[in-house]
Amino acid sequence: MAKPSVVSGAVIDGFAVGECVHHGGMATLWSVTHPNITVPLLMKIPRVSEGEDPAAIVSFEMEQMLLPRLSGPHVPACFGTGDFAHQAYVVIERIPGKTLYSRLEELPLGYEEARGIVQKIALALADLHRQNVIHHDIKPSSIMFRPSGEVVLIDFGLSHHNQLPDLLQEEFRLPYGTAPYMAPERLLGVRDDPRSDLFSLGVLLYFFTTGVRPFGESETNARHAAAAVARPASPA
Amino acid sequence: MLLAFFADIHANRQAFSACLDFARARGAERLICLGDYVGYGADPEWTVETVMGLVDSGAMAVGGNHDNAISSTESMNAQAQAAIEWTRGRLSAVQRGFLADLPLTLHEEDRFYVHSEASYPAKWRYVQDSSDAARSIQATSAQITFCGHIHQPALYSMSSAAKMTSFVPTSGVPVQLLGGRRWLAVVGSVGQPRDGDSAACFAMFDTNSREITYCRVPYDVEAAAKRIRENGLPLWLADRLLLGR
């Protein structure tokens, strides 16, 4: 595991760094505080040391560019960003609770409950698309809930903004994302169609109501491509 | 500091006036002119005089191929050549001298300014795609290069892994030029846009927020076209202003 580039107790642009709360493949998450901000905060720091996946840098850059532009209840509020020239970070509102991934062991859910969850995600996606952004990694671990019940979408590292440069456009030969949820057009390199998110949402609905993913569990794009043209079994 | 970049003005008084007014109204503190002040349009004396005045007041200016053609024998396509020969007779010796003495490149802080592209400025190559942009970016140590020449706005970036992105900017939407990559901003044309939009085009860059904003400014296109026709310049040079081609 790469050594984190910050340590607990450091102060970065006025943000006091607390404990490390998550070590992910792309980034580490730290609890931080700021004297002028009362809401709980997280600092996300990309893993950029030698040998790390270059996707970590590019997906961080996308978040650095997108998060300050987004607003509303369905995204975490952004309170600051730092550049690679000094210390790369984004500071966002810390959403309490767990992601929807924590419900996987309860699957299949009853239809009404699953429908209610998906309806809330659809509302969040509509708000995101209205802000010219396609998420491109809709899956249970990208979805959280506010105490009021509204969905909050997280992890915008693979996202596309219709009015900003798409940094992932030419960076990788193969589409980046989560294969079982990825829309077929993504395999062709299409990144500007909001319906790609709705495809992923459909996969999630099928999964949550049946307990199995409609196009299988394959994590490879090639196998997923073959599965995506097949017709899934009816959930009924 | 808020910078404003103007390229390919091409003796279009109406378009340049509108862009200068627009930039000043939005607080531009420093003006950078990226070449091709003359050629095609019918107001070269006013345009060169205006750029000379801006430079006297602290603006920066590099030369373009049409400016260079005033004092050289380099040949251009027939319509451009006709406009250059007409322009040559309109400019004073002082104005011709100003154009002849313009540098091809300038740089300040982490920014590089050139009319065409940075790898061989005197060859007047166009930046038409990502590979052209990569060649220019790799020819300098600057984080951001600003250029014109192709009359179509574009924004290219090179990642730390030397992968390129290309992007057609949306007017009025700021884009942060992230510090982890290098950028080439083609700022579009003030006086003869060729991307299907007849509105004048220029760009503003905020050195604090590191955001670039491409601006489209509607202007009196018909008046600029009328001036071209009145002065006996090739009619297509008037028509293309109306079409943005």
CATH number of the CATH domain containing A37: 3.30.200.20
pLDDT band for position A217 (50/70/90)? Answer: confident
H-state helical runs in A143-220:
184-187, 195-210
**Residues in chain B within 8 Å Cβ distance of A167:** 157, 159, 165, 181
Q: How far apart are CA A75 and CA B117, in angstroms?
A: 40
pLDDT band for position A231 (50/70/90)? Answer: confident
Same domain, A72 and A105: no
CA distances (Å), origin A223, targets A82, A139, A187, A207, B96: 39, 19, 11, 18, 67
Position A219 scores a pLDDT of: 66
Same domain, A78 and A172: no
In a domain, residue A235? The reply is no
Among A93, A116, A131, which residue terminates a domain? A93
Percent above pLDDT 90 for chain B: 93
| The two three-digit tokens of residue B142, written as one number | 């600057």
Mean pLDDT within B59-71: 97
Cis status, amide bond into A165, omega within 30 of 0: no
pLDDT band for position B75 (50/70/90)? Answer: confident
- The yes-or-no verdict on residue B215 having pLDDT over 70 is yes
CA distances (Å), origin B20, targets A89, B28, B99, B221: 37, 9, 20, 16
User: What CATH number does residue B160 fall under?
Assistant: 3.60.21.10
Q: How many structural domains is chain B composed of?
A: 1
Question: What residues make up the domain containing A89?
Answer: 11-93
- Of the ranges A50-59, A102-111, B63-72, which one carries the lowest mean pLDDT score? A50-59
CA angle A191/A192/A198 to nearest 5° reads 85
Position A221 scores a pLDDT of: 62
- Best of A61, A64, A131, A132 to disrupt the B interface (most B CBs within 10 Å) is A61
Position A227 scores a pLDDT of: 62
Could you tell me which of A55, A85, A62 has the C-alpha nearest to residue A171? Answer: A55
Q: How many structural domains is chain A composed of?
A: 2
Instruction: Kindly state whether A50 is in contact with chain B, defined as any CB-CB distance less than 8 angstroms.
Output: no
Same domain, A131 and A222: yes
pLDDT band for position A222 (50/70/90)? Answer: low
Instruction: Give pLDDT tens digits for B8-18.
Output: 999 999 999 99
CA angle B96/B191/B13 to nearest 5° reads 65
Whether A83 is a known active-site residue: answer no
pLDDT band for position A232 (50/70/90)? Answer: confident
**Coil, strand or helix at B162:** coil
A114-149: b (≥16 Cβ within 10 Å) or e: beebbebbeebbebbbebbbbbbbbbbebbbbeeee
* Between residues A2 and B57, the one the model is more confident about: B57
- Crossing angle for the helix pair B221-230 and B13-25, to the nearest 10 degrees: 150
Q: How far apart are CA B151 and CA B30, in angstroms?
A: 22
- The yes-or-no verdict on residue B111 having pLDDT over 60 is yes
Among A65, A93, A121, which residue terminates a domain? A93
CA distances (Å), origin B175, targets A22, A166, B156, B183: 30, 11, 12, 11
Q: How far apart are CA B2 and CA B70, in angstroms?
A: 32
Instruction: Kindly state whether B92 is in contact with chain A, defined as any CB-CB distance less than 8 angstroms.
Output: no
- The yes-or-no verdict on residue A4 having pLDDT over 60 is no
Pairing of strands B30-33, B60-61: parallel
Assess contact for A71 and A78: CB atoms under 8 A. Answer: no
Three-class HEC string of B174-243: CEECCCCCEEEEECCCCCCCCCCCCCEEEEEEECCCCEEEEEEECCCHHHHHHHHHHCCCCHHHHHHHHH
Instruction: Kindly state whether B181 is in contact with chain A, defined as any CB-CB distance less than 8 angstroms.
Output: yes
User: What CATH number does residue A206 fall under?
Assistant: 1.10.510.10
Same domain, A224 and A205: yes
Mean pLDDT within A188-204: 95
- The yes-or-no verdict on residue B63 having pLDDT over 90 is yes
Mean pLDDT within B213-222: 98
Same domain, A130 and A45: no
In a domain, residue A38? The reply is yes
Q: What is the mean pLDDT of chain A?
A: 89
- The yes-or-no verdict on residue B74 having pLDDT over 90 is no
How many residues are present in chain B? 245
Pairing of strands B30-33, B2-6: parallel
- Best of A53, A171, A192 to disrupt the B interface (most B CBs within 10 Å) is A171
DSSP class of residue A13 equals T
B200-214: b (≥16 Cβ within 10 Å) or e: bbbbbbbbeebebbb
Taking residue A198's Cβ as centre, other Cβ atoms within 10 Å add up to 16
- Best of A5, A45, A47, A58 to disrupt the B interface (most B CBs within 10 Å) is A58
Q: How far apart are CA A183 and CA A195, in angstroms?
A: 8
Could you tell me which of A44, A48, A152 has the C-alpha nearest to residue A98? Answer: A152
Amino acid sitting at position B16 = F
Contact call for B179 and A85, based on CB within 8 A: yes
Among partner residues A84, A88, A170, which is closest to B164 by beta-carbon distance? A170
Same domain, A22 and A118: no
Contact call for A85 and B180, based on CB within 8 A: yes
DSSP class of residue B118 equals S
Same domain, A68 and A178: no
Position A49 scores a pLDDT of: 66
Instruction: Give pLDDT tens digits for B142-179.
Output: 999 999 999 999 999 999 889 999 999 999 999 999 99
Position B152 scores a pLDDT of: 98
Same domain, A51 and A132: no
Question: What residues make up the domain containing B77?
Answer: 2-243
Q: pTM for the complete prediction?
A: 0.91
**Coil, strand or helix at A187:** helix
Contact call for B178 and A65, based on CB within 8 A: yes
Instruction: Kindly state whether A170 is in contact with chain B, defined as any CB-CB distance less than 8 angstroms.
Output: yes
Instruction: Give pLDDT tens digits for B178-192.
Output: 998 999 999 999 999
In a domain, residue A107? The reply is yes
Same domain, A151 and A39: no
- Of the ranges A25-29, A123-127, A151-155, which one carries the lowest mean pLDDT score? A25-29
Size of interface A-B (CB pairs under 8 A): 54
Q: What is the mean pLDDT of chain B?
A: 97
Q: How far apart are CA A47 and CA A55, in angstroms?
A: 10
Residue A153, beta-bridge partner list: A143
